[in-house]
Amino acid sequence: MNGDLDVWVEGIGVWAPGLPNWDHLCAHLAGQPTAEDAPKRPAAGLLPPAERRRAPDSVRLAVETAAQAVAMSGRDAAELPSVFASAHGDAVIMDYMCETLATTPLEMSPTRFHNSVHNAAAGYWTIATGCHRSSNAICAGDASFGAGLLEATTLAASDAEAVLLAAFDAPGQGPLVEMLSTRTPFACALVLSPQRTPQSRAALRLRLHASGHPQQPPSNAHLRRLARENACGAALTLLEALAQPTAGSTRVAAGTGLTLHIETDVLA
């Protein structure tokens, strides 16, 4: 990527244990404790009841935060192209499928099978919102958030329209757990626009470097621990910067040997 890429943040969604939305995260960074009475699972209230019952936690994380971000932006979800980023997809279902195929393959659940694809969250989201715009599913290991952010900002700039980004990962189960970097559920979402609008909350300037500088961890102890326990936790570095009233900068991995340097400027 040559030169800088500028986008504006219009909406932010967040979900983690004790931090069920952006306001709670900002309050925590201002010194408040996490919300002990917060829901243990994301509500994902945008999904119809039947779909919500079938949706795994990975999908609920993505849909909940995407809905928060779109609501904050004031945009129509049906009109937003989207990028969904996840390192693992749904590792619980992958464990179920591997075990079932190895023991009783004829008992494979069709519902759980269709939830195993990496773009399941994107599918649930577009069906629930009636969105017929493009939707991409990104996977880049622990660099999935940065790769998704690069994809979303590039789309926003090249197509000159707002784009929804959702990044999420949930813990797995069974033997696969030893291979995964996620121990705690977390998701975030951003609505990104190529132009400043009345809904803009912050400006981002991105530059891609091939130097492979180390990813910058959050300074807040709780967020730093969460970032270590979730493959998409790199997003917390950026969210922490967006919660500050002053301009700043941060770094997130975007692939093997690739780092996004991000300058942030929160708008008054």
Kindly list the domain boundaries of the chain, sorted by start residue.
9-198
CA-based nearest residue to 145, from 202, 68, 227, 55: 227
CA-based torsion, 188, 191, 195, 200: positive or negative: negative
Q: With bands split at pLDDT 50, 70 and 90, how would you rate the model's confidence at 1? A: very low
Section 197-201 average pLDDT:
96
Pairing of strands 248-255, 258-266: antiparallel
Q: Which CATH superfamily is domain 9-198 in?
A: Thiolase/Chalcone synthase (3.40.47.10)
The amino acid occupying position 207 is R
Query: What is the four-CA torsion angle of 259, 61, 166, 109, rounded to 10 degrees?
Result: 100
For the chain, what percentages of helix, strand and coil (3-state, to nearest 5) are there? 40, 25, 40
Query: What is the four-CA torsion angle of 32, 36, 38, 40, rounded to 10 degrees?
Result: 140
User: What is the percent of the chain where pLDDT is above 90?
Assistant: 72
Helix (H, G, I), strand (E, B) or coil at 41: coil
pTM to 2 decimal places: 0.94
CA-based nearest residue to 172, from 235, 77, 96, 107: 96
- Dump pLDDT digits (tens) for 58-84: 999 999 999 999 999 999 999 999 999
Q: With bands split at pLDDT 50, 70 and 90, how would you rate the model's confidence at 233? A: very high
- Which residues lie closer than 8 Å to 200 by C-beta, 6 or more apart? 8, 9, 10, 193, 267
Section 137-148 average pLDDT:
95
Burial of 30 (0-12, 13-18, 19+ CB in 10 A): exposed
214 has a pLDDT exceeding 80 = no
Rg of the Cα atoms in the chain: 18
2 has a pLDDT exceeding 70 = no
Alpha helices in the chain (DSSP H): 22-29, 49-54, 57-73, 91-103, 110-114, 120-129, 144-159, 221-228, 235-242
Residue 134 or residue 114, greater confidence: 134
257 has a pLDDT exceeding 90 = no
Q: Is the CB of residue 155 less than 8 Å from the CB of residue 206?
A: no
pLDDT of residue 130: 96
131 has a pLDDT exceeding 90 = yes
Section 47-60 average pLDDT:
91
